[in-house]
Each structure stands twice: as structure tokens, then as C-alpha cells.
Amino acid sequence: MPAQDEIFRNIRVVAQGLDALRDEHEAIKNKLTGGIDLLTPDERQLIDEKTSIVDRNLENILLGVEEAQVMVALASHFQNLEADKQKYKAQVRRLCQENAWIRDELNSTQQQLRTAMQNIAQLEEENKHLKFMNSIKKFDEDLPELADKEGDQAEQQHTASDVHNSTLQELGFGDEEEDLQSLFLSYFDFHKNIDWGKGLGWYVDCVILAIIKQDAMLVRNAVILLENKKESLRKAIRKLKLENGRMKLKIKTLNEKVGKLTNEKLVDVDDGRAPESEYDYDDLNRDFYLIGGIHDPLSLRCEVTIRDKEGIEHKSAERFYW
């Protein structure tokens, strides 16, 4: 199949041939109609027939020429369209290249923006760190002024810990509670640092320092230890209440026994204390007389002091255990 350009060339050649043929037919027509007035009617009729044939051929030639011109115009238009198409394709390629370049520039700009934001965040963190170090420096400068106060608080804390330890031992707890006591002391140290920060006017920084000082494992161990000891403490409290009732019953029984001998109530169960005044035994006919009685609910100890007629004092003590 011939190419499109070859077809258009052939159309142009045919159009040129049709133009030449049209010129020839017009020349023939002019020649036939040139001396028609001098001819006879028969000859004129023949010339008219020839002229009509030439006119038909001339019309066909003109139609072919016009069609060739239209096809040539269409070919030119198609060529222009193809040129525009190629031009537009070139523009599209150029725009795609520009778009790719713009995207690269956008990615580069975004990367620079992220780097700048990271630098800004780093500078802000460094600024906060410098402010924090400033506050620590101020705290270190103020520490000598609080040394005496720290010593007094440490002594009070040590005294409180001794009292707490002795109370635990009196209640029947062993060395296992020393860990709990150390946790309480760490808790006191934590809040002591916070109290110092309140006095200096930078409470938040002091809380941060105190939290940094604390051992996270110590806090977790404290929670575990408190959970483990919660039930044992509840059992101990219930046992103490039960033994307290038993102790009151024993004290009441002892009061009844001593009351039979002395006609005096030794211990009041409600207030836990007996009268300590010495009674005049010269006016009474007794074998022995009550001098005093002491009831210590904390140590669960009951002590009785009596004196016989010869003036000899006798002491009796009884300790209750659970």
C-alpha cells in the first residue's frame, strides 16, 4: 500500500494534468465555436454535438481539478495537524521534564525543611537542657544554705525510722519489714527534696530531680512488697483485735480475783489503768493491801504491787502473748 505522501504527490501530478487537459478542451471549444456563423446548418449541428461533448468532458475535468485541489488542501491541512501534533508532543515532553524537575526541587526543599525543623527542635531541646542545668546550678549553690535544715530533718527521720522499726518488732514482724522501712525512708527523701524545691520557688525542677534520683526498680519492688504484705497486715490486725478481747477478758478475771482479796478494782478495762495511790491499811483488817497497779496495753503487761501487814511489798507481773 503506497504511503500517504506518495498519494498526495500523485494527486498533485494528476491535478496538473487535469489543468493541462482543461486548457486543451477550452482551446478545442474555442476553435469549434470560432467560425460557426459561416457554416451550414448540418455542419453547425455537428459542431454543436462536438461542443456538447467537449463541454461534458470539460465539466468532468473541472470536477476532477476541484477534487484534486480539495485533496491537496486536505493533505496540507493534515500535514499542518501532524506538525501541530508533533509540536504539542514536544511541549508535553518539555512539560513532563519541567514537572519532574519541579518535583525534584520540591523533594529537595522538603528535605531542607525537615532538616531545618530537626535543627530547630534540637536547638529547643538544647535550650531547655541549658535552662535545666542553670536551675541545677542554682540548686547546687543553694545547698550549703540548707545543710543545717537537712541535718535536722535527717535526725528526725532517723528517729522516726527507729520508732517505726521498734513498733514493727513489738507487733511481731521480723526482718522482712526492713525492706518496707527502707522504701518508706526513700519515700521520705523524695518528698524532702520536693519540700526544698517549694522553698526555693522551682517546684517542678525539684520534682524532676527527685524522680531522677529515685530507682524505678525500688518503686516497683515497693508496690510488689505492699501488695504481698497487705493481706498479712489485715490478718495481723484481725489477730490483734481477737487477742485484745482475750486480754480484756483476762484482765477482768484478774480484777475479780484481786477484788476478792483487796475489795478494790485493780484495773479498769475501759481506760487500761489502775489507781496508783497508796491506801491506809491501819483502819482495815486485811492480810495484805493494794499499793498500785499498772496496765500497759501496748506491751500487754499487767503489774500488781501489794503490801502485807509486816510492811513487805510484793510485786507480781504477767505478760500476755498472742
pLDDT, tens digit (0-9, with 9 covering 90-100), for 46-60: 878 888 888 888 888
> Considering only CA atoms, which of 307, 297, 310 is closest in space to residue 250?
297
Domain ranges of the chain: 4-100, 143-214, 239-319
pLDDT bracket for residue 170 (50, 70, 90): low
pLDDT bracket for residue 256 (50, 70, 90): confident
Residues with Cβ within 8 Å of 314's Cβ and at least 6 positions away in sequence, in order, are: 288, 305, 306, 307, 308
pLDDT, tens digit (0-9, with 9 covering 90-100), for 275-311: 444 444 343 344 444 444 444 444 445 555 655 556 6
**pLDDT at position 277, please?**
41
d(CA 13, CA 6): 11
d(CA 215, CA 306): 58
Higher pLDDT residue, 210 or 15?
Answer: 15
Question: Is 13's pLDDT higher than 70?
Answer: yes
Q: Whole-angstrom distance between the N-terminal and C-terminal Cα of the chain?
A: 122
Average pLDDT over every residue of 112-136: 90
> Considering only CA atoms, which of 73, 64, 34 is closest in space to residue 51?
34
pLDDT bracket for residue 98 (50, 70, 90): very high
> Considering only CA atoms, which of 54, 79, 55, 71 is closest in space to residue 15?
71
The class (CATH top level) of 4-100 is: mainly alpha
